[in-house]
Structure 1
Amino acid sequence: MRLISLTLRNYRVHQELTVAFDRSRNLIGGANETGKSTLAEAIHRALFLRAKTGGRTQKEMVSTRHLGEPEIYLTFEAAGSTWELEKRFAGAKGSTRLTASGATPLKDDEAETRLAELLKSETASGGGAAKLLPTLWAHLWVWQGSSGDDPSGHASDHKDTLVHRLQQDGLAAVMQSATDQRVREHVAARYDELFTATGKLKAGSPPELARARLAEAEASLSRAREIAGRLEQAAAEHERSERELAEIDLILPGLREQKVVTDAKLLEVAELRRQEEARQHAWQTAATLARQLAEQDAAIRKLHEQADQSRDSLGPAERMEASLVAGEKEARELSQSAETSQRQSADAIRTARLRHDCAVASIAVLEKAADLARLTARAAEASQLRTDIRGQEEALSQLPAITAKDLEVLRQLDRAASQAEASLSAMATGIELIASDVAVSLDGQALVPGEARTLTDTGELKIGPGTRLRIHPGGGISLADARLRLEASRRSLKDALDRHTLRDLDQATAVLQLRQTLTQQIAQLEIRWKALGGEVLSAELTAAGTAHEAAKSELERRHAAAGSPDLPGSHDAAQQLRATLQQTLDEAEKAEAVTRHHAAQLRERFEAAAAKLQAHGDQAAQARQSLRDLETKLRILQETHGDATAREAALVKARDAEQAATGSLAATKAALVALSPDALAADLDRFVRAIAQQEARRREAENLRLIARERLTLDGSTDPQAELSHALARHVAALEIHASQQRRARAIEQLHQLFSSCREGIDRALVQPLADRITGYLQCLFGPAAQARVNVSDTGIEGLEIIRSDDSTFGFSVLSGGAREQVAAAVRLALAEILAADHDGCLPVLFDDAFAYTDPARIQSLQRMLDLAALRGLQVIVLTCTPVDYSAFGGKTIGLR
């Protein structure tokens, strides 16, 4: 199948477009929005969309720029013939026409059916067309934005066709024979009877039933063995329990007697510990009282010493305080005198500064007046220019508003009128009869020799009885039509001149020249006006006047503040006065700085003396307060605890009580140590634990004896050994049946695996030629070491892997965006090459801007791959925004604009 040519009418952006395709290589280029993707879509819908499809799918094809329904005319080769396909998409009124070379045309449903047979594909129609269309020939039509999608699905979609083609290419030897197939199916059926989908044995299958019977036999054998063993164990346990009960009766009385003795000693220990606690409390009380009395006596003695020391140190501090008061007074008087001098210097500086500022204000007034005068002169010149501009603009406004474009339109209309007039002159046909020996008539009216007539429309000339001629003046166009055309051209020219109020074309040319001259003059005047600052001159003049008035007001305020001194009359005099006053101000500021420095030093001296006096006074006051606090505290302590003699007697008495409590406590602790209370508690725990163990042992032995008696009574009614022998025989038989069923199941499983592995080998052998073709294309991109590996399953191709020169393997999903585009294109070309055998050895493969992520260097290798596809018989069509990138492709270049 090969595309020959395409014509579109009223299809989206295309009003009418015709493209003739090369048989092998085609490069269609154009900028964005020129309709490249629309062209690809139109070919696809002509092949696969029924013409009577309506709804949204049909509306998307309708042009918003051109009137009429979308029409597609496609010529292609298929089934050994050249076919012409015509489709008009108009919803229910759509039509299809399919014509083979030299055959009767097919129409509508008949044509659609035959087209589907030629393409070996279904067609889309109705509400599901939008979803079905993208899947039809998706391996050949690489839509914009889908070039990087995994191509494995395309191979899976066409697996049956691929297998059929590969078998015909010489791989039939690897296919299974009919007998092999029947055996494989029989084994698969037996396998399905025995095993689940996960490879486990099915419930209810013979192996599973044998396993269940074996488990039942094993359970019966286990029960028989358990009964026989249980009987023997019961006899042994009954004898053992009797021995243990006798032994426990000998041990328990001694343990209980030892526990009674230990309990009595522990009661004695508890009483001694209560005595120890009371005597410990009495000793702590006596010791605490003796310690507190000693601490109080020491504190009172220490307070006496501190009060004496405070009285001794207070005398020198009071004498130092009197000396500091005299020094502080002297420093304060000197500081006040220096501050008075500083204020006088500051007043002198203020007077000098006011006079200086007045002189500066007078300079500002003179400068602002000069600026105002300059701006006034400029404003007068700019005003004159503005007047000249208005005059030129007024002259320009009185001329007709015509542009160079308007003049060109008038000239075109004038040329059209001239051409119509020339056509009219050449249109009429004249007929004159010179001489004739037979009757001649024109439109039924006889012509006589020497008579001439003018034809302005079709006429019939009759010569004799058997000759009739039809004459068409002007090639079929009547003189009346030519006259109408001339009148229409003149009327259009006249209307255009009237719109601009022009007399003729010459006046229009003169008016345009005059308008251009006036426009240039206006532009030159505006340049001069702007150079003078005309746009902002008014604002500047107003600002200058405001500034001058503000400077005058400032001068009046400064003059009044300075005592109204004489003002200078000129700018130079004002500058000289300002300099003199500046010098006076500088000298006053220097004098004031010296005075201020001296005053600061004296103020610091006064502040230091005052701070020293304050600090010493605070310290003296603190010392006095501290002495008073000590004396108060000492008096309270003496009132509370007595004098030295009373305190000494109380301390001796407390120490005697402490010594007596210490002896009593020591005697109690010695008695406790003699009884070893910790060992007694451990002994009691040990005796209690031993008695509990022996009693628990007695209960266990009694329970064991009781259980053994019951077991001997119950199990002794039958013969356990006979039951065990029968169970052993049943177990041996079940074991043999289970082994037989397991061997059969394993054999069927191994046969199933063997047939499955052989089938996988056949699938790999079938798909290997596809992998080899993909490898050939990939080597154009990645070098001669690159290989493709195709993985297969029952449902088709599961995935594609790329092996590079360094033996590294990459799945399609981990490739970069550009690499996915290139590898997907290689797979599509390989599929098309194999499937082309069902389409006269050729299929078109269309790439719609399919390599957006491919870098320019790889584009060169890509062209080698596309050229290889063309050499192998495919028709390659590349649509791109950058056709210059494919200059080495060597295909037919078609440009869209």
Structure 2
Amino acid sequence: MSLRLRRIALDGFRKFRTPVVLEGLTDGLNIIIEDNETGKSTLLEALRAAFFVRHNTKNQLAQSYAPHGEAIGPRVEVAFEAGGASWSVSKRFLRSAGVELTGPQGRAQGEEAEARLNTLLGAVKDSSRGGDIGSYGALGLLWVAQTEALAVSAPGQIVRDSVTATLEAEVGSIMGGPAYKKVRARVEDQYGAYWTPTGQKKGRQTEARDRLDAAEAASREASQRLATLEKTFTELEAARTKLKVIDREIADETDREARQALVSSLEIARAAVQMLATRRAEHEAASGKVHALEELQRRHVAATDATLTAQQAVDEARDRRRDVGERLAAARLRLADARSALEGARDGRRDARAGLGAGEKLIDKHRRAAANAEARKRHGELLDLERLYREARVVSETAIPAKTVAALEAFERVVAEAGAVVAAGATRIAFSGPTEAILIDGAPITEGERTLTRATKFRFGDAELTVTPPGTAQSADETLAAAKRRLAAALEELDIEDVAAARVRNDAARDAAAEVRTLDARITAVTPADPVIELAAGPEALKLYVSSLGNGGDDPEGELPDMWALTSALESAEDALAKAEGIHESALDGLRRIEEEDAPLATQEAGANSDLVNGRSQIEAIEARPEYATLETDLRPARERAAECAVKLDEAERNATAHDPAAIARKIDVIDARNRTAGETRNKLLTDIARHENTIEIEGGAGLADRAAAACEEVEAARATLERVTMDADTLKLLRETLDEAHNETSARFVGPVAKRAKRHIERLLPGCELAFSEDLALVSVTRGGIAESCESLSRGTQEQLAVLTRIAFADMLLEQGRPVSLVLDDPLVYSDDGRLDAMVEILSDAATRMQVILLTCRDRAFRHVPGNRVTLG
């Protein structure tokens, strides 16, 4: 039964502070490729939380679900299919914790929902603080987080039980049944009374052994004391007998007489040794003289033979070198001609290169002249642009700040408002007709309309009229006057007539600022860098360069050279040089071959000459020695003298052998040692006799025989007890080992099918390998080419690949049992090379035909080509 995830929704779960939904998951291979830190691992952790972590737990793992710094309740919703039916689970942790499971049987909440979910997925309640993936069942093995697949590990107990149930019918055995466990527990209890867990004796065995050891020690002590007493009687009689013998030996005069005779013989032996040394020195002197004469004769003969041989070798080497010398002279002549031609070709190439270089320099001068003319032209444009830039900059700097303009407009608005108030509350009067006789506040009046804002006196001749407008008119008039003063002061400070002039001035400044930017861009455009004249970009660099040019002309002297002709000439010179070099190398190789042929001949001739000179010098040195002149006449009497000395030496050796001083001295020492030992032995025997007599007096009445008999009886009883206890312990040990062997045999019968299924996948990656699984179904080693390799010693990449492949094998076995299975791999195969990665992708694609596979990865390049359903996390 394949488990298929369809939709995952997260809200407030770790880094997902806002709601995130993952949809579009299909039955086969699903690939989610996202960058690092986008939440792929968090997504897998959320799946585990939704299915396996209890909603009401507040352990360390659940506390980690909340986003950092926020006190909210993380929520996860998952829609999935299992057993051909649609299901959905919604969980909320920490705050307002709750769970709701919806399926074919309807909805369930709380503990009932958790129980149904565990039953559906084959999981058990997790009571650990950090999350125990072993309690998650099959999905705990198949949903692999980052780094969990970097080492091959055993499946959890739930998965092992499921696999065992799958294979029971296949292997025909039931491993670990209730009867076995009951018997095994009983045997283990009894075994613990006799043996330690490591198989060492303890408990009843050590107690029985201690009792026997104590009894044997007591028996040995009693028997030893009894035997010691009996031995003391025997040793006393023996000591008295030996004392009598020693007394007779001391009284005997034989050794003293023998010693006197040996002392006389020692004097004679020493004289024979002295004569032997004299004869040996005479023989060595005579033999040395014979050997020296014979050695001189031998050396003369050897030097004469070596001289003749060396002379023949010199003549032969000279004849062979004579033919090689003619060819060597011709080869040297050819090499000299080739060297001359090579030098001429090199001179031609050097001239051609010099001509081409001069042409390039002239062209460079023309280029620099053109670049200088262009720089002068751009310099003139730059000066005009900078003048315009300064003028526009001056105008742009006359801009009035926006706050100041707003203040002027506010002042103008206040003046207008105050004028309106004055107009509304003031008294208006109009005059018509002759007004000469009328005075207003003592001043003549003019014809027309007038507005009165304060008390005003009119005089008509002697009559006087006072007109008083409303009180508000006067205050409004004061407000208007104050506003006009503020406006006039602000305009005067800015040196403008009115607010409209300020607006016109700002418009001009704004246009000038735009012109400044345009001119700045034009200045940048007119002052680019010029690599021909090594001119940097910027106006300052251009002005500095033009000022350094002075007023000289920019037209170079001379016409442009024909670069094609110069280049062709250089190429021809290069070809001629290459040919000359080839001829020179050929001549050099020919000379080298002849020299190599001549070298061993020269070496042979030199060696033969050296041997000839050495032989002649040796002959001269030998013949120059004084003893050489009489060598033949001196050699015969020297040999006769050596023979005579040898005869005398043999006679002296026979005499020295017959009277050996060392042997005589040893005999004298033996007699002295025997006498000294006899005295020491007599003293020791007297001491032993006294000690034995005292021991017999003390131990004689202690009843040692009865005590020895009782100790023997205790030993027999303790030995019988030990034999009985040992038999019981061995029986229990044998029974325990038999149960273990049966258990291991049954386990091995289960491991076989597991290895067979796993090999089907691993064979595609490691052809020809054999797998070894432990009792807990963990892959422990791989055998290739007859060599077993522990999984721990394999590379990290191979371990990761084997971990994924064994999980696929277990997934297939769980599918056979109808367990809910899906494969989720977070950042898989990070240590795989390209070839292994392609093979693993094929295996995963094949597995996706049987179950849903979800790959979470950040490696776009590695999985870009893999066919599958692409899903985006967002």
User: TM-score, with normalisation over the residues of structure 1?
Assistant: 0.49
Scaled by the length of structure 2, what TM-score is found?
Answer: 0.50
